[in-house]
Amino acid sequence: AGTYKDGENVTIVATPDDGYQFDGWYSNGAKISSTQKYSFTATENTSISAVFSIAPTEAPDNDTNEDLQGGMD
């Protein structure tokens, strides 16, 4: 958030909280950048929003190829 002069260079940075990932910067419903650090020149009133989503969790690796053998004596 801020107020900038016409022609001023602006850099904004989005930092997701733990458990979230950054999806992009959006303006008027359109994605304008996928990078967390976004720079632009202020030329008019605009609204830019950082959009986040829940980060996917990694499933445990169940791809084991161990043969389990058992028997009775």
> DSSP state, 67?
P
User: At residue 28, what are phi and psi to the nearest 5 degrees?
Assistant: 55, 40
In the numeric block, the tokens 């969790």 are attached to: 57
Would you call 22 exposed, middle or buried from its count of C-beta atoms within 10 A (0-12, 13-18, 19+)?
middle
- Do residues 55 and 25 make contact, with C-beta atoms less than 8 angstroms apart? no
What's the pLDDT at 71? 58
In tens digits, the chain (73 residues) has pLDDT values of 789 999 999 999 999 999 999 999 999 999 999 999 999 999 999 999 999 999 998 776 666 555 555 555 5
- Do residues 24 and 33 make contact, with C-beta atoms less than 8 angstroms apart? yes
